[in-house]
Amino acid sequence: MKRSLTNQILPWLAPVFGSLAMAAMWAVHTFGTDSKGLILPFHISAIIVWILTVAMAGSLLFLLRDMEDTSGYRRLFPDSRWAAVGTLVAGISILATVVESLTAMDEPVRIVSGLLKIIAGIALIYLAWCRWKNVRGSFLAWAAAAAYMLLRIMFEYRTWSMEPQLLRYFFPLLASVSMVLAMYHRTAFAVKMGSRTQFLFFSQFGAFCCLAALPGTPAPFYVGMALWALTDRCSLKVVKAKSPDKAPEDTP
pLDDT tens figures, 10-69 = 889 999 999 999 999 999 989 988 888 888 888 999 999 999 999 999 999 999 887 776
Residue 239: the pLDDT is 54
- What distance in Å separates the CA atoms of residue 211 and residue 206, rounded to the nearest whole number? 9
DSSP 119-146: HHHHHHHHHHHHHHHT-PPPHHHHHHHH
219 — pLDDT class (breaks 50, 70, 90) = confident
Residue 2: the pLDDT is 56
Q: By percentage, how much of the chain surpasses pLDDT 70?
A: 85
Q: Please count the helices (runs of H) and the strands (runs of E) in the chain.
A: 10, 0
Whether the Cβ atoms of residue 113 and residue 101 lie closer than 8 Å to each other:
yes
Q: What is the mean pLDDT of residues 83-109?
A: 79
Note the pTM of the prediction, 2 decimals: 0.87
215 — pLDDT class (breaks 50, 70, 90) = very high
Residue 89: the pLDDT is 95
Q: Half-sphere exposure (CA, 13 Å, Cβ side) for 167?
A: 25
Of 178 and 247, more confident: 178
pLDDT tens figures, 153-178 = 988 888 888 888 888 899 999 999 99
Q: By percentage, how much of the chain surpasses pLDDT 90?
A: 49
